[in-house]
Chain A
Amino acid sequence: MYNFLTELTGNEIIAAFISAMLPVVFIVPFVIFGVLAERKVSAHIQDRLGPMRVGYHGVLQTVADFFKLIQKEDIIAEGADRKFFNLAPYLVFVGSYAVYAALPFTSTYIGSETDIGLFYIIAVSGFAVAGILMGGWASNNKYSLYGALRSAAQIVSYEIPTALVILSMVMLTGTLSLATMSEMQTAYFWNWNIFGGAEWAFTKLLLIPFMFIAFIILYISTLAEVNRLPFDMPEAESELVAGYSTEYSGMKFAMFFLAEYGNMFAVSALVSVIFFGGYQSPFGYLGNSLGLQWLIPYEQLFWFALKGILFVLVQMWLRWTLPRVRVDQLMTICWKYLIPYSFANLIIIGLITLL
């Protein structure tokens, strides 16, 4: 994409700029859709209607909320550390936005065709911790501080099982590049990693149960990394009011919000790339059978978005069904269960790939 744009515009800087801005074109509509979907999904789970006033069945509610939020006074608490307080929401957003650079939306569009996409994603998702910690500390509010410290402990802990599962997948596929990983799971859904990858051998059957375990571990830990219920310790509104975002208002609060929804999709897309073929269609492309090659990237974008949104919907479903775990139980789940299991899984998958 970047090369194409360079040729088109003849200027590397403009090409890089356009290339970097493209995910915004995706994220902002997604957030608008995602917030509305969350409200509608929760409403229908809870036997009520949700927003109904703005537009048909409230479809424009998020837009109205957005305009409300930008009109809000930007309040900075008196004792707050202004510099860090102002910086924090943007840092959190950067963390969630930077992930999109390495996500292959289609086989032709990927923000940065780096060979170490997975490694990069694990690295930049740490930005969010810094931002949350910064916001919590700078707010000079005890609830914020508690939320920030919890969040730091939680995200750092849950990165370990995430990394272990990703490592086992790297061992299996032999690549750190998300584009290559998606490429490998081509053609039909039984070639997806969750069904043991594209290689036809007896090890494929052996791998399937361990792939499912790996998927579940990865899904749980990404759920914790994006601070969604049942792991929304940092926000835990019944205990900590709103956690690290307690003192934020207006657009700064909206940035946290944007980052949360951006993150939700990013991790869902990551899970779908690693296990469910990313942009690959589960049963061949319409473009191939019709002989319309130009159609394929659009189909790929459709499948990529669909898989991501499906996992986001599962996240919402869980959120509106389960109670919240306690902070020590959260750590127990991570250190006593997820890490040993993912470690054992890593070794077993390693042995199987050796066969």
Chain B
Amino acid sequence: MALRTEELILNVGPQHPSTHGVLRLEVELEGELVVKVKPHIGYLHRCFEKHAEAMTYPQVIPYTDRMDYLASMYNNFGYVIAVEKLMGIEVPERVEYIRVIMGELQRIASHMVALGTYGLDLGAFTPFLYLFRDREKILTMFEMTCGARLLYNYMWVGGLSHDLHPDFVRLAREFIQYFRPNIVELNNLLTYNKIFIERTAHIGILPADTAINYGITGPMLRASGVNWDLRKNDTYSIYNRFDFDIPVGQGHMGTVGDCWDRYYVRVLEMEQSMRILEQALDQLPEGDINSALPKRIKPPVGTVYQRVENPKGELGYFIISDGSLNPFRVKVRGPSFVNLSVINELSRGHLIADLIAILGSIDIVLGEIDR
């Protein structure tokens, strides 16, 4: 007589060290092998899109801060240029530059958290704290500019809340000088660590066609070898003025599109962001930042879709205006939400430890998934 066996259902989350927030994964396990993963979301749902309908256009900006709270600047960025597009506002040069500088600093900060917590998921505690130490410098710069460290409400429709602090440019340059050697240190400590490579190479391989079918964007898509970055492919703001490369996954340590590639693309992107920063700091023009601020934000009837390259991927805002002070509808296409959808495909047949590695490599922020 054969013994009756059944799969073990394990609830990972919503309170679990590695779910990066309040995500619940319903995992079907056979021994330590993952049979099926079902993500349950919504624990952090705050009705952002519905709230936005009752707010005036500028009042929506603080809500966008609270979506991907590790990349608030970039969420502001996407929303304000969507509204500006709707209203046909041209912002001054200086504003454009400051926005790019803030956006790229934010990208570095967001990737720092992604890489640090990824190391943490794999048991390496130290790189996490090194990266947070460096992230602190970026947050200090944000704080001296707009007074907030996490939720900025910095970019306004047609301008910015504050001009740069007089020390800002010097600090930003110092940061670049300071952080470049630290990337080398990170690489030596974690990226090229034998155990780390063993844990991540050939794990959770995402082929390019699957990635495209699922609508994956951002570093995850590029790690699969697809050269797609909205800063170059559907350029916005003044990104076409800068010289930078799009790193793609090449399977240095394993297969193209494995966890190691997804990790390494982010490391390389931090370097590219610093290149953009250097150029932007050099070219930063003088001028009044508030000259284009509209008296009243009342866009004409119409719709707009604006997408930007958030650190996590393609962040899209679809706004319908009925000509009143409030938007009729604000729909957000969140990159983390879409990227998470592929987790079942990625982790099937892997061990439970790999599931954690894969989840970490997706780099989700629950604030944006649940909105």
Bound-complex Cα distance A322 to B119 (A): 10
Q: Is the CB of A241 within 8 A of B198?
A: no
Asked if B353 is at the interface of the complex by the 8 Å CB criterion, the answer is yes
Q: Is the CB of B123 within 8 A of A46?
A: no
Q: Is the CB of B125 within 8 A of A327?
A: no
Residues of B contacting A146 with CB < 8 Å? 32, 352
Residues of B contacting A236 with CB < 8 Å? 123, 353
Residue-wise, chain A 94-110 has the 8 Å CB interface mask toward B (1 for contact) of 00000000000000000
Quick one: closest B residue to A233, CB to CB?
B353
Q: Is the CB of B126 within 8 A of A238?
A: no
Q: Is the CB of A238 within 8 A of B18?
A: yes
Q: Is the CB of B129 within 8 A of A322?
A: no
In the complex where A239-B18, A239-B353 touch, is A47 in contact with B123 (Cβ < 8 A)?
Answer: no
Quick one: closest B residue to A324, CB to CB?
B123
Asked if B17 is at the interface of the complex by the 8 Å CB criterion, the answer is yes
Q: Is the CB of B353 within 8 A of A322?
A: no
Q: Is the CB of A47 within 8 A of B32?
A: no
**Nearest Cβ on chain B to A102's Cβ, whole angstroms:** 33
Bound-complex Cα distance A130 to B203 (A): 34
The contact of A320 among B120, B125, B195, by CB within 8 Å, is: B125
Bound-complex Cα distance A239 to B124 (A): 13
Residues of A contacting B126 with CB < 8 Å? 45-46, 320-321
Residue-wise, chain A 156-182 has the 8 Å CB interface mask toward B (1 for contact) of 000000000000000000000000000
Asked if B171 is at the interface of the complex by the 8 Å CB criterion, the answer is no
The contact of A327 among B10, B17, B32, B123, by CB within 8 Å, is: B32
Residues of A contacting B32 with CB < 8 Å? 146, 327
Asked if B193 is at the interface of the complex by the 8 Å CB criterion, the answer is yes
Q: Is the CB of A238 within 8 A of B133?
A: no
**Nearest Cβ on chain A to B224's Cβ, whole angstroms:** 23
Residues of A contacting B193 with CB < 8 Å? 322-323
Q: Is the CB of A327 within 8 A of B351?
A: yes
Asked if B16 is at the interface of the complex by the 8 Å CB criterion, the answer is yes
**Nearest Cβ on chain A to B217's Cβ, whole angstroms:** 26
Asked if A3 is at the interface of the complex by the 8 Å CB criterion, the answer is no
**Nearest Cβ on chain A to B114's Cβ, whole angstroms:** 15
Bound-complex Cα distance A329 to B124 (A): 16
Asked if A328 is at the interface of the complex by the 8 Å CB criterion, the answer is yes
Asked if B309 is at the interface of the complex by the 8 Å CB criterion, the answer is no
In the complex where A238-B121, A323-B123 touch, is A47 in contact with B195 (Cβ < 8 A)?
Answer: no
Residues of A contacting B351 with CB < 8 Å? 326-328
Q: Is the CB of A238 within 8 A of B198?
A: no
**Nearest Cβ on chain B to A144's Cβ, whole angstroms:** 12
Q: How many residues of B contact A (CB 8 A)?
A: 29
Residues of B contacting A321 with CB < 8 Å? 124, 126, 189
Chain A 12-43 interface residues, beta-carbon cutoff 8 Å to B: 42
In the complex where A239-B353, A326-B199, A328-B351 touch, is A229 in contact with B123 (Cβ < 8 A)?
Answer: yes
Q: How many residues of A contact B (CB 8 A)?
A: 26
The contact of A42 among B120, B125, B198, B354, by CB within 8 Å, is: B125
Quick one: closest A residue to B354, CB to CB?
A326
Bound-complex Cα distance A321 to B352 (A): 23
Bound-complex Cα distance A323 to B193 (A): 8
Asked if A80 is at the interface of the complex by the 8 Å CB criterion, the answer is no
In the complex where A239-B352, A239-B356, A326-B353 touch, is A47 in contact with B133 (Cβ < 8 A)?
Answer: yes
Q: Is the CB of A238 within 8 A of B129?
A: no
In the complex where A46-B126, A238-B121 touch, is A326 in contact with B16 (Cβ < 8 A)?
Answer: no
Asked if B340 is at the interface of the complex by the 8 Å CB criterion, the answer is no
Asked if A232 is at the interface of the complex by the 8 Å CB criterion, the answer is yes
Asked if A230 is at the interface of the complex by the 8 Å CB criterion, the answer is yes
Q: Is the CB of A46 within 8 A of B16?
A: no
**Nearest Cβ on chain B to A194's Cβ, whole angstroms:** 25
The interface residues of chain A, by DSSP majority, are classed as: loop
Q: Is the CB of B8 within 8 A of A142?
A: yes
Q: Is the CB of A237 within 8 A of B17?
A: yes
**Nearest Cβ on chain B to A327's Cβ, whole angstroms:** 6
Q: Is the CB of A323 within 8 A of B129?
A: no
Chain B 148-198 interface residues, beta-carbon cutoff 8 Å to A: 189-190, 193, 195-196, 198
Q: Is the CB of A322 within 8 A of B133?
A: no
Residue-wise, chain A 285-319 has the 8 Å CB interface mask toward B (1 for contact) of 00000000000000000000000000000000000
Bound-complex Cα distance A241 to B351 (A): 16
Q: Is the CB of B123 within 8 A of A241?
A: no
Asked if A325 is at the interface of the complex by the 8 Å CB criterion, the answer is yes
**Nearest Cβ on chain B to A264's Cβ, whole angstroms:** 18
Quick one: closest A residue to B190, CB to CB?
A323
Asked if B130 is at the interface of the complex by the 8 Å CB criterion, the answer is yes
The contact of A46 among B8, B125, B354, by CB within 8 Å, is: B125
Asked if B122 is at the interface of the complex by the 8 Å CB criterion, the answer is yes
**Nearest Cβ on chain B to A23's Cβ, whole angstroms:** 31
Residues of B contacting A326 with CB < 8 Å? 198-199, 351, 353-354
Bound-complex Cα distance A168 to B314 (A): 61
Bound-complex Cα distance A47 to B120 (A): 16
The contact of A323 among B16, B17, B124, B352, by CB within 8 Å, is: B124
Residues of B contacting A42 with CB < 8 Å? 125
Name the residue in A46, A47, A322 with the highest tally of chain B Cβ atoms < 10 Å from its Cβ. Answer: A322
Residue-wise, chain B 194-226 has the 8 Å CB interface mask toward A (1 for contact) of 011011000000000000000000000000000
**Nearest Cβ on chain A to B262's Cβ, whole angstroms:** 16
**Nearest Cβ on chain B to A235's Cβ, whole angstroms:** 10
Bound-complex Cα distance A229 to B190 (A): 15
Residues of B contacting A46 with CB < 8 Å? 125-126, 129-130
**Nearest Cβ on chain B to A137's Cβ, whole angstroms:** 14
Residues of B contacting A325 with CB < 8 Å? 195, 198-199
Bound-complex Cα distance A236 to B32 (A): 14
Bound-complex Cα distance A46 to B198 (A): 24
Residues of A contacting B18 with CB < 8 Å? 238-239
Residues of B contacting A239 with CB < 8 Å? 18, 352-353, 356
**Nearest Cβ on chain B to A246's Cβ, whole angstroms:** 11
Lowest 9 A-B CB distances belong to which pairs? A324-B123, A323-B124, A46-B129, A323-B122, A238-B18, A326-B353, A323-B123, A238-B121, A323-B195
Q: Other than the known A46-B129, A325-B198, what 14 A-B pairs have Cβ atoms closer than 8 Å?
A: A45-B126, A46-B130, A47-B129, A47-B133, A236-B123, A236-B353, A238-B123, A239-B356, A241-B17, A322-B123, A323-B123, A325-B195, A326-B199, A329-B198
7 contacts between A and B (CB under 8 A): A46-B125, A47-B133, A48-B133, A238-B122, A323-B190, A324-B122, A326-B198
